[in-house]
Structure 1
Amino acid sequence: MAADYRIGSLSCFALLLSLLRLTHAFYIPGWSIKSYRDGESIPLFVNKVYSDNTQIQYAFSELPFVCPPSGRQRPGTGLISGSNIALNLGEVLRGDRIMVSDYELEMGTDDEVHYLCSQKVDRAGLKKAQDIVKDGYVAEWIVDNLPGATSFVTVDKSRKYYAAGFKMGYEEASLTTGQPRYFLNNHVTLVIRYHRAPGRDGQSGKKVIVGFEVYAKSVEAENRDVGGLPADLHNPRGLELTMSRNTTVNSTLPRDVDSYVLQQWDGGAEDATLTIPYTYSVYFREEEKLEWGNRWDLYFVNQDESNKIHWLGIINSIVISGLLTAVVAVILARTIHGDIKGYKDGALEDGKLRLAKRIKSIRSPRRSFEKPGFLEQVDSDLTAGADDASSDDELPEEITGWKLVHGDVFRPPPYGPLLAPLVGSGMQLVFMALGLVILSCLGVLNPSFRGGFISVGTALFILAGAFSGYFSSRIYRTFGGSQWRSNAVVTATLFPGLLFLTIFILNLFVWAQASSTAIPLGTLFGLVALWLLIQLPLVYAGGWYGFVRAGAYTHPIKANVIPRQIPPQVWYARPVQAALLAGLVPFAVIFIELFFVFCSLWQDKSGYYYVFGFLAVVSTILILAVMETTVIYVYIQLCAENYNWWWQSFLLGGSSSIYVFAYCAYYYTKHLHITGLASTLLFFAYSFLACACYGLLTGTVGFLTAYAFIRRIYGAVKVD
């Protein structure tokens, strides 16, 4: 079965084809419209079942208690029942397994009740069905690229909205024994809502599908005619998932509460079986007010109710960002500018003529960028001032704080060969995230592009390998490195290797559960081939250009030979405390929007998060908050005469990922009902990977911001 879902091979040609398949299931609203004439066959696809109580998903067609495919040819569609639909990378990774079903739908033709099949299950199949119902699994079917939905109304009953999927069954407690009883929904009522097709197709009588509703119910196996059709569909008794029982009608109980009392449970026979009959009804209803281009709106009506909260989150983010901007403005416009101005002016006052003469002597149009600047002259005076000055009182009073560490601020950091690949990987993620947000806001990535986020995100990440290699190599050479080839390999392997290793280990758990979330072996080989044949060469090419052609970043001041001793730091300037305090601010910017993202990912597993405008605004404010927070804390650190800012700036920028992971743990305990070791492991492992991506991205933003800030302030006092 796994071979049906392979998306690539080890050959380069197949890899290129796999990238082209990213466009599968994509449409541009208003253009790629499928219209149907009356009587035309409409294929129904079954996908998977999923639950809020577990992270383990299953392919619907592989459940042992549902109707197996008949293999019949579907007239007018060119499809065969039981055939698998080709999937893109994102669909495979999110656990989709789409297959052509045996349900027969013809445009405009109602079918009050139709027999599908009777499936006989053994004890193992019955246990599986009970577990599916007990864990609250929901099935996803697809018609015309719309997921089957259960309809609801808003709180004020003014609008209808859709919740994707329908329940596989329900649980009740026995009125006599108190034991749980599980009932399987073996009948579905399919309501297809249509609208007149636009343009010439509409003039010729064709229709487009604008809604797909599924209403499931449980119907007993008894009281059926020779064709398998139930005698009563309006008020039936349910089909209980148990092998054998003796029942007596209890006339004193309301029919809709409990139509019989359980007298005897399963007798325990080894070869006992349960026969489950499946039926369905089909109704077509015209929806005059809903156009095809707006047919997804019903899935988002419930989310629209939260727009006020989104705006509240944006206002909260703007207020926080505004306060940070004011602080940064004070630092840049008043403190640093005043320090520099006063520093230069003070050099010409009160017995400082020696220093002024030395400044004048180095003012020459021929002075190169690498020659000593103003701060280096000050450092020379401070170290050799004992020969010329009679006492410490003759030294400039302004030589304090960040000015004292000018000779060490550009000293290469420890473990620089590790920091450079991390920054390179972060730039790769920045490019990917920026591309995804832009494409989402433009509507290119939309809910109809099933698996589009993962597919396009993977493609952008791979193509961004050139940027990753470029930035990593330039920073690596700036730190004094010489083995750029090794640095390129580390950059191309560090983060993708962590990602692949974690997913592979998780796959062992979901494989054991026979879950559709398990990545097929062919897909794993395809991902490795994408890394070896595309990602690695791009990182290597970018690394060569960054190291050989672009070269190291130049600094306005050379580092001293002997490192300066760092004085004891106040508690809030120490690395761990500073990172924890700095991380609170970006987290405060995003935590409201984070709740909606988590709801879409973990509770509404259909994943139809769509408010990308809000997400783009909050993301922009987040980046500004990370930049400003990093500038403030790096300035405090320099004022404390601590020049070890390289790693600290990276940690300051990415420290909010700690709070995001803590919020994941809080969300798990307060909002989710996940049970089982495998599901818990999947949740926290995926959360860790997401926070690692977030931390790398924001850490890189913090590092580059601090680098630009320090180059600016120390370059500003260089005497030309």
Structure 2
Amino acid sequence: MQSDYQLVFGNDSPCLRLCDRIMAKRNIIKSIDLIKQNYIVDWVIDGLPASTTFISDNLTERKKYYVPGFPMGFVKGDDAYVNNHVLMVIRYHKEKDNQYSIVGFEVYPKSVNDFTCPGASKNFEHTKLDASNDFQLIHFTYSVYWKEEPEIDYNNRMKLFIDPSLIDSNGKLLSKPSNNNKAIHWVSLINSLVLATFVSLVAAFIILINFRSSIQSASQSSFAQISQNSFTKPRFLPLLSLLTGSGVQLVFTLLASGILSSLFLRKSFANDSKILALTIFILIIGGFFAGFSSIQLLKLFSTRGEQLSIWKTSLISSLSGSMLISLGLAIVVVVNTLIFSKDSPRSMKFSNFLQLFILYIFFQLPISLIGGLISRKFNLFTNLLSSSLDSAPYTSASNKVSVAKTPLYLRFPFSMLIIGLFPCGIVFIESRFVYMTLLSERATTYLLGFLVLSAILLSIVMIEIGIISTYIRLLKNTSQYNWQWWTFLNCSISIWLYLESTSLYQLLKKLKTEGSTSPFLFIAYSSILNTIVALTCGTLALWSATIFIYSIVLISTKKKD
């Protein structure tokens, strides 16, 4: 986005006139309201946000800190004054080969009642906004100074930024900023690693015991008995295939975009748009895996001998790869329709809707369809497990027999609360840092490395929880039908409940929102994000449990033979 401010590298401009603005009465009232709400203006140069500068009061170590943004104006008594002059100090660092990089963008706003620049003078009148006038003329000016910064280079230019919560109402530092956030991040990762290790040990113990028992005596193995009664065609299998196909697409998108962004695009605020473009591109490519995996799951759980028609393959594969974009577009359209009447700057432009719709029609649908058609001809699991599938007594869920009583801790909603404990321990602290970036109005690029590591640990834990929970469920109830739905819903809804509770807590206790637009947007978009995470967790859990059960059956069948 371009502006009317003229910046020429290395050229100082003590006083430049931007424009003269005639403000109508409604704009004056709106500006007064924004100033009284402490509205913060955000500018960006070379991916670096315009910042308000603070100096620590420690006389032995006077250190400079930055807070992103600068105030639109200030309030004195009952009057609001607009900052119509800005003094910009742009700091640069000399890199190798006589190249320069921007490492600081300091803005010092002032309110001046004429078209002259105040310079270092303090004896000037301020521009008061008067709501009683039908019109008011405002002069906008600016000054630009370039300063070389020899100590801070491009890779370390974000280290001076601090959390705005460390600044009091008078603009004073409440405490000396530290690197506690990084320390907490590492403690969070260690905590996640401990949880993942514990769950891994439990899963390894279960796998080891049951593989040994299956090899020693297939007929006496408890899991062999479980597996013989677990090859059922679940109810609403096409819907389950759609959801898990979308989950596979999300797993691929989140991990691939997160890893690539953390490696190549995390050093600049300007890379936010590049990260978004990369994520959309990977999401479209992930439609192939969505269509492929959904058809594989459909064939795996279908009644043996059942032929999958081309039209059914086309419908399920295309929907599984495009359902997320279509639902996301529908929700965003509804949200933007509701906030458009309030002239909210957060509403999405129509051109963006059109671009997403074109991507949906001309790219997402064909790629998903290709993945499904290839999957129809390529049997990834059924060929590998053909012998075990032929020997297993396959039963339809509609023909189920009497089922033993399930323990209380394996029933809804108790099972969801228990299963979600370990994943919640991993995502809770990282979600706290994500919401802190909303409070500090900072981009989340510096969090990408930690988020990717936490996502990998979360994926490992969900894979193991899927195995453990399904094993215990089938062990306690060997004639359990629709266990696929039980695993998927428990592992997805459980973590969704914890994440949604965290989001509501942040909204009610931490985020300072006014009016109805901001809370509504926060609830809508956080719910979408929580649903995405929940869907990926449920998909990982179901696929891991399925592969585990079928692997046990394969070993048991070979032992019998």
Q: TM-score with structure 1 length normalisation?
A: 0.68
Report the Cα distance in structure 2 between the residues aligned to 1:548 and 1:700, rounded to whole angstroms: 23
Among 8, 20, 29, the residue aligned to 1:127: 29
- For the pair 1:164 / 2:39, whether they are aligned, the reply is no
Give how far 1:338 is off.
5.2
- For the pair 1:530 / 2:530, whether they are aligned, the reply is no
1:167-206 alignment to 2 at 5 Å?
167-172=71-76, 174=77, 180-199=78-97, 201=98
Report the Cα distance in structure 2 between the residues aligned to 1:610 and 1:408, rounded to whole angstroms: 49
2:166 alignment counterpart: none
Give how far 1:104 is off.
3.3
Cα distance 1:577–1:208, how it changes in 2: closer, same or farther (>3 A)?
closer
Letter in 1 for 2:400: P
Report the Cα distance in structure 2 between the residues aligned to 1:155 and 1:624, rounded to whole angstroms: 47
Cα distance 1:439–1:133, how it changes in 2: closer, same or farther (>3 A)?
same
1:117-156 alignment to 2 at 5 Å?
117-153=19-55
How large is the Cα RMSD of the aligned pairs? 2.6
Give how far 1:313 is off.
0.7
Letter in 2 for 1:421: L
Q: SS of the residue aligned with 2:145?
A: strand
Give how far 1:439 is off.
0.8
Give how far 1:135 is off.
2.8
Report the Cα distance in structure 2 between the residues aligned to 1:559 and 1:194, rounded to whole angstroms: 72
The structure that is helix-richer by fraction is 2
Deviations 1:492-538 (A, max 9, x none): 34322211100011111232233333222222122111111111000
Give how far 1:564 is off.
3.9
Q: SS of the residue aligned with 1:275?
A: strand
Please tell me whether the aligned partners of residues 246 and 324 of structure 2 are also in contact (alpha carbons under 8 angstroms): yes
2:167 alignment counterpart: none
- For the pair 1:712 / 2:551, whether they are aligned, the reply is yes
Please tell me whether the aligned partners of residues 440 and 446 of structure 1 are also in contact (alpha carbons under 8 angstroms): no
Q: SS of the residue aligned with 2:242?
A: helix
Please tell me whether the aligned partners of residues 477 and 552 of structure 1 are also in contact (alpha carbons under 8 angstroms): no
Letter in 2 for 1:309: I
Report the Cα distance in structure 1 between the residues aligned to 2:63 and 2:546, rounded to whole angstroms: 52
Report the Cα distance in structure 2 between the residues aligned to 1:450 and 1:424, rounded to whole angstroms: 28
1:409 alignment counterpart: 230
Please tell me whether the aligned partners of residues 231 and 394 of structure 2 are also in contact (alpha carbons under 8 angstroms): no
Give how far 1:551 is off.
6.5
Q: SS of the residue aligned with 1:704?
A: helix
Unmatched segments (≥5 aa) in structure 1 = 1-97, 175-179, 244-265, 345-373, 376-397
Higher mean C-alpha deviation, range 115-124 or range 689-698: 115-124
Among 652, 656, 664, the residue aligned to 2:490: 652
- For the pair 1:306 / 2:196, whether they are aligned, the reply is no
Cα distance 1:159–1:457, how it changes in 2: closer, same or farther (>3 A)?
farther
Give how far 1:550 is off.
2.9
Give how far 1:566 is off.
1.5
Give how far 1:109 is off.
3.6
Deviations 1:533-563 (A, max 9, x none): 1110000000001112337634624234453
Among 416, 440, 458, the residue aligned to 2:261: 440
Among 503, 510, 513, the residue aligned to 2:339: 510
Cα distance 1:429–1:235, how it changes in 2: closer, same or farther (>3 A)?
farther
Name which one, 1 or 2, has greater alpha-carbon Rg.
1
Among 500, 514, 521, the residue aligned to 1:682: 521
Deviations 1:427-476 (A, max 9, x none): 11111111112112312354232312221111100111111110011111
Among 374, 391, 398, the residue aligned to 1:545: 374
Please tell me whether the aligned partners of residues 405 and 643 of structure 1 are also in contact (alpha carbons under 8 angstroms): no
Report the Cα distance in structure 2 between the residues aligned to 1:440 and 1:154, rounded to whole angstroms: 34
Q: SS of the residue aligned with 1:675?
A: coil
Please tell me whether the aligned partners of residues 405 and 564 of structure 1 are also in contact (alpha carbons under 8 angstroms): no
Please tell me whether the aligned partners of residues 85 and 111 of structure 2 are also in contact (alpha carbons under 8 angstroms): yes
Report the Cα distance in structure 2 between the residues aligned to 1:208 and 1:635, rounded to whole angstroms: 57
Give how far 1:704 is off.
0.8
Letter in 2 for 1:422: L
Report the Cα distance in structure 2 between the residues aligned to 1:155 and 1:661, rounded to whole angstroms: 41
Q: SS of the residue aligned with 1:99?
A: coil
- For the pair 1:597 / 2:434, whether they are aligned, the reply is yes
Unmatched segments (≥5 aa) in structure 2 = 164-176, 303-307
2:142 alignment counterpart: 280
Give how far 1:683 is off.
0.6
Cα distance 1:551–1:709, how it changes in 2: closer, same or farther (>3 A)?
closer
1:392 alignment counterpart: none
- For the pair 1:218 / 2:47, whether they are aligned, the reply is no
Cα distance 1:421–1:147, how it changes in 2: closer, same or farther (>3 A)?
same
Q: TM-score with structure 2 length normalisation?
A: 0.87
Cα distance 1:635–1:123, how it changes in 2: closer, same or farther (>3 A)?
same
Give how far 1:675 is off.
1.6
2:292 alignment counterpart: 470
Deviations 1:394-446 (A, max 9, x none): xxxx57x6444433311111111100011111111111111112112312354
Among 266, 275, 278, the residue aligned to 1:453: 275
Please tell me whether the aligned partners of residues 439 and 445 of structure 1 are also in contact (alpha carbons under 8 angstroms): no
1:74-93 alignment to 2 at 5 Å?
none
- For the pair 1:615 / 2:489, whether they are aligned, the reply is no
| Matched length | 525
Report the Cα distance in structure 2 between the residues aligned to 1:228 and 1:637, rounded to whole angstroms: 77
Cα distance 1:474–1:142, how it changes in 2: closer, same or farther (>3 A)?
same
Please tell me whether the aligned partners of residues 313 and 590 of structure 1 are also in contact (alpha carbons under 8 angstroms): no
2:305 alignment counterpart: none
Please tell me whether the aligned partners of residues 582 and 630 of structure 1 are also in contact (alpha carbons under 8 angstroms): no
Report the Cα distance in structure 1 between the residues aligned to 2:491 and 2:315, rounded to whole angstroms: 27
Deviations 1:285-324 (A, max 9, x none): 2211123444344347968441111111112112212221
Among 102, 109, 123, the residue aligned to 1:209: 102
2:393 alignment counterpart: 559
Q: SS of the residue aligned with 1:298?
A: coil
Report the Cα distance in structure 2 between the residues aligned to 1:517 and 1:297, rounded to whole angstroms: 29
Give how far 1:154 is off.
6.6
- For the pair 1:100 / 2:12, whether they are aligned, the reply is no
Please tell me whether the aligned partners of residues 296 and 375 of structure 2 are also in contact (alpha carbons under 8 angstroms): yes
Report the Cα distance in structure 2 between the residues aligned to 1:692 and 1:428, rounded to whole angstroms: 14
Q: Percent identity?
A: 28
Cα distance 1:609–1:292, how it changes in 2: closer, same or farther (>3 A)?
closer
Letter in 2 for 1:327: V
Please tell me whether the aligned partners of residues 266 and 448 of structure 2 are also in contact (alpha carbons under 8 angstroms): no
Report the Cα distance in structure 1 between the residues aligned to 2:552 and 2:380, rounded to whole angstroms: 23
